[in-house]
Amino acid sequence: MSEQHVALVTGAASGIGLAAAEALAASGRLVALADVNCEAGEAAAKRLGGSFFRADLSTRAGCKALTDSVLDKYGRCDILVNNAGIQHVSPIEDFPEEKWDFIISLMLTAPFLLTKYLWPGMKKNRWGRVININSVHGLRASEFKAAYVTAKHGLTGLTKTAALEGGPHGITVNSICPAYVRTPLVDGQIDAQAETHGIDREEVISDIMLKKAAIKRMIEPSEVGDLVVYLCSASAVCITGTMLTIDCGWTAN
């Protein structure tokens, strides 16, 4: 890299976002970490020699303020990792409407807005990488996850469209689609699924989460972080518009 690239990672205080920020920092990028969790986000930014930005990405104003702050501080943003997300498990008939709105805003509208706001700078530099932390649920559905599955399928569409528009400008746009990764989000899901299905935690892991997997184990966050760095490498310059699975064979079914 002639100039040090700046990478913005959302939801970077925990789980996959934190692992992506760690991997990007270890590979020489300047990292900007965004999250609502200030304590963990600030500690991680300090450890990684980056900066922390408090941002609630469920609002349009929060997305705009974040990109303005990053561009003010660094004058550029070369890599965007859209990662912040939550899960809510509930049958459609009981699905809280405000949860639907929140999930769509945070996990579909925010990636669109952040991409839109950072796009002109990437275009000007003729280089950009947008990496959407999608999910196997961007490719397949599961019951009781209506908002999550819908947001992730939408993210698949955004990834493809942005890839087509970015190609002529040196911008690649890809999704990473993991199955179950060992993070706090999944830990919460185990409890929620246990309650919804009326079974215990061990049964949720073996009978639901790993049932369709060829490799019977959870994915580690660092394994997703390594894939993020790969997509930013020179070897990945021709990879765009893809939904790259890291799913222990889950979608081979």
User: Looking at the annotation, which residues are catalytic?
Assistant: 148
What secondary structure does DSSP assign to 109-168, as a single string? Answer: IHHHHHHHHHHHHHHHHT-EEEEEE--GGGTS--TT-HHHHHHHHHHHHHHHHHHHHHGG
Please say whether the beta carbons of 53 and 66 come within 8 A: yes
**205 three-class SS:** helix
By CB under 6 A, name the one of 70, 181, 194, 228 that touches ligand NAD: 181
Shortest distance in whole angstroms from residue 212 CB to ligand NAD? 14
Binder to ligand NAD among 6, 16, 114, 204 (CB under 6 A)? 16
- Can residue 220 be called a binding residue for ligand NAD (CB under 6 A)? no
- Please report how close the Cβ of residue 68 comes to ligand NAD at its closest, in angstroms: 16
DSSP letter for 59, please: S
> Is the Cβ of residue 127 or residue 208 nearer to ligand NAD in the bound state?
208
The only residue of 27, 43, 56, 65 in contact with ligand NAD, by rule CB under 6 A: 56
Among 49, 75, 184, 198, binds ligand NAD (CB under 6 A): 184
Q: For residues 114-143, which are near ligand NAD according to CB under 6 A?
A: 133, 135
Neighbour-count burial for 221-238, b at 16+ CB within 10 Å, e otherwise: bbebbbbbbbbbeeebee
| Measured distance CA(9)–CA(223) in Å, rounded | 16
User: Residues touching ligand NAD: how many (CB under 6 A)?
Assistant: 28
Q: Supply 207's token pair.
A: 């009978």
- In a 10 Å sphere around its CB, with 0-12 CB exposed, 13-18 middle and 19+ buried, how is residue 34 labelled? buried
Taken in order 91, 10, 114, 55, is the CA torsion positive or negative? positive
Q: Rule CB under 6 A: say whether 36 interacts with ligand NAD.
A: yes
Nearer to ligand NAD, 127 or 146 (CB): 146
Using the rule CB under 6 A, give the single segment among 23-31, 42-50, 77-85, 92-100 that binds ligand NAD: 77-85
| 55 forms part of the interface with ligand NAD (CB under 6 A) | yes
Single out the segment in contact with ligand NAD by CB under 6 A; choices: 10-18, 88-96, 111-119, 192-200.
10-18
Contact residues for ligand NAD (CB under 6 A)? 11, 13-17, 35-37, 55-58, 83-86, 106-107, 133, 135, 178, 180-181, 183-186
